[in-house]
Structure 1
Amino acid sequence: MRSWLLLSILPLTQAIRIIQSNDDGWAEINIRTFFDALTNAGHDVVLSGPAENQSGTSSSDAPPKTVDADGCIFNSCPGGSPPTGSNATNPRLNYVNSFPVTSIMNGIDVTAPKFFGGAKPELALTGPNVGSNIGIQVPFSGTVGAAVAAVMEAGIPAIAFSGRSGDPTAWNQPTPLYSKIYAELALKITSQIVASGTPYLPQGVFLNVNFPEVTSSECNDIDDFRFIFTRVNPGIFSEKDTEWCGTNRLPTEYDIFFRDGCFVSISAGDASDKTTVDAARQKPVADKLKSILSCL
């Protein structure tokens, strides 16, 4: 994959401090592949994810506990391990034995400053989640919950990434094609937001991004994809969206999910309630992304 190699070896023009998390577990291959892509691009990255699969835990939060006898997900830490810990060979890879929200906040407040000279992260990235998070799924997603926590509790702009393909897979297995593609796409969106300058997102806003299915015959190269600006929830009775692609009503994430083709939905979500933000805050997001966005 020429595009994958290119993104892996060429540093970004601007490297920033990034905190990563997810709800599938710190040792799941999607987040590890994305960690490598971000690091290879020159970013200063710390991963702080749950010790176990915590999918569907929304915004739950609880103090981390000692790891039970079964150990961390995919045997990535032994039973009886401390409530928090790190990879033996790379201390930037960290687990927190609790929910995604707890994991990312521990990373923001405790772990990341050790690597960032006392500073906090500048951007929070969660996922790519194993499975889509669209529409009515969004409030229940731990991947979204972690992103929203970064925005609401720490004031850090955040992007939640989810991908339709795959099953939970250990970090030490051969990297599936979809993991590579999702890491490339997530890096492209991240690069666009970073290049747009600060503030990376309007106050109280997170991005909810969903990638389509990747197969050996379709949607298997980053150049196949088109990025569509969407809304999280249907807006029949809501206020008008920002003017975009000749209309003031954006397509929903469901519209993109059920459409044939290699379409990526990007929604500007309100971190206070995980729904679509108002038009006034959609517009600066669209302006930041406009050079990569397409119209249907």
Structure 2
Amino acid sequence: MRGLCFIALLAILSATAERIVVTNDDGWAVAQIRAQVNALVDAGHDVILSAPADNQSGTGAMQKTAQPRTEPCEFDSCPPGAAMGNNASDSRLNWINAFPADSAQYGIQTLAPQLWDGVLPDFVVSGPNVGHNTGFSVFGSGTIGAAGKAVQLGVPAVAFSGTGTAHESYTALDIVPASATVSAAETYASLVTEFLDALFSQPPTSPPFLPANIMLNVNLPALDGACTAESVAWVLTRVFPVLLGNPDVVTCGNGGRLPVEGTVVSQGCFATVSAIDALLKVDVSKSVQQEVLDRLVNLGFSCV
């Protein structure tokens, strides 16, 4: 009986372990993205990092052909001379001298087939970004541009952002005691992993995980003594306000109008979740919002 229970447990664990490409717009060597990779690996996922060689914030969905670098990567994390490369001791940690959308495409179309024997990723995590991406910033955000590119290539994706971290090298993760921004990076990484656990634990759906042609924009709150990983409340939101009508899913007694993410995330210990069109970066219909709500039922949304 114990053997059967153990086999069943393994089956459950394997069912929730996914092949994930992690990308961002802050660069492959920042502490936040390395903390996120570590957290996902510790959770049992198979992870490939594919991110820009240096900070490419504000490049939106732009793309370009990668060119050999004339200078080292950010934080001297790679030598000049190549257009792309990887960590010398870990081929799963990769950079490309291009934009965030390019790094997502590189991870999906080149690295994943190489490292996973021809198999494409199940999911793309973009970020967490250093700083929030709310309102009109979604149009220029490279974090969101990378996630949107992934969805356009057929891979579900979520963009994560938070204000508590700083643009610092991954080497800061090894310093004891940890700085406040490194602690925030690790907390954000745990929150992203918690979010994905809820998303991945849903019953089988078609398409898997998220509705077709949409992505999620998630903004994590500023952290302090009163706002910790344990106290963060998840709230379904929209990116842009509306003036007329009731265009949204009915939840929390909202009368058909979701709160705006920028307002909610600044009000307290709330993490906002908005569903947007992966190409246009605008709010989706209430029927799609309802589908997202149903697929994230295990997250436990709160009201504000």
Q: What is the TM-score normalised by the length of structure 1?
A: 0.91
User: What aligned pairs does 1:214-253 form with structure 2 within 5 A after superposition?
Assistant: 214-215=223-224, 217-220=225-228, 222-237=229-244, 240-247=247-254, 248-253=256-261
Q: In structure 2, give the amino acid aligned to 1:277.
A: V
Q: Which runs of at least 4 in structure 1 moved beyond 3 Å after TM superposition?
A: none
Counterpart Cα distance in 1 of 2:131 and 2:165: 7
Q: Distance in 1 between matches of 2:233 and 2:44?
A: 25
Residue 118 of structure 2 corresponds to which residue in structure 1?
Answer: 118
Aligned length: 280
Greater alpha carbon shift after TM alignment, 179-188 vs 193-202: 193-202
For structure 2, list consecutive stretches of 5 or more residues without a partner in the other structure.
1-12
Offset at 1:290?
2.7
In structure 2, distance between residues paired with 1:52 and 1:255:
31
Match of 2:210 in 1: 201
2-side partners of 1:239 and 1:138: how far apart? 23
Q: Given residue 139 of structure 2, which amino acid in structure 1 is its aligned partner?
A: P
In 1, are the aligned partners of 2:55 and 2:74 still within 8 Å (CA)?
Answer: yes
In 1, the alpha carbon distance for the partners of 2:21 and 2:188 equals: 18
Distance 1:142 1:62, change over 3 A: same
Residue 105 of structure 1 aligns with an amino acid whose one-letter code is: Q
Equivalent residue runs for 1:44-63 within 5 Å: 44-63=46-65
Tell whether the 8 Å contact from 1:148 to 1:206 is kept in structure 2 after alignment.
Answer: yes
Question: Shift in Å at residue 165 of structure 1?
Answer: 1.3
Q: Counterpart of 1:86 in 2: which secondary structure? A: strand
Distance 1:187 1:177 in 2: 15
Q: Which runs of 5+ in 1 are unaligned?
A: 1-10
Residue in 2 aligned with 1:24? Answer: 26
Q: How far did residue 145 of structure 1 move?
A: 0.1
Q: Could you tell me how far 1:229 is from its partner in structure 2?
A: 0.3
Q: For residue 161 of structure 1, what is the aligned residue in structure 2?
A: 160
Following superposition, the deviation at residue 214 of structure 1 comes to 1.4
Aligned equivalents of 1:49, 1:98: Cα separation in 2: 9
1:117-161 deviation line (CA, Å, top 9, x unaligned): 201111110000000000111110000000000011x11110000
Whether the 8 Å CA contact 1:19–1:107 is kept in 2: the answer is yes
For the aligned residue pairs, the C-alpha RMSD in angstroms reads 1.4
Shift in Å at residue 257 of structure 1? 2.7
Preserved contact between residue 221 and residue 266 of structure 2 (Cα < 8 Å)? no
Give the structure 1 partner of residue 75 of structure 2.
74
Kindly state the Cα deviation for residue 166 of structure 1 after the two structures are TM-superposed.
Answer: 2.2
In the TM superposition, residue 13 of structure 1 has moved relative to its aligned partner by 5.4
- Match of 1:161, SS state, is strand
Could you report, residue by residue, the CA deviation over 1:54-84 in whole angstroms, capped at 9, with x for unpaired residues? 0000011001111122x1011100122x101
Partner of 2:263: 255
SS at match of 1:281: helix
**What's the secondary structure of 1:25's corresponding residue?**
coil
How far 1:237 moved relative to its partner? Answer: 3.9
What displacement does 1:252 show?
0.6
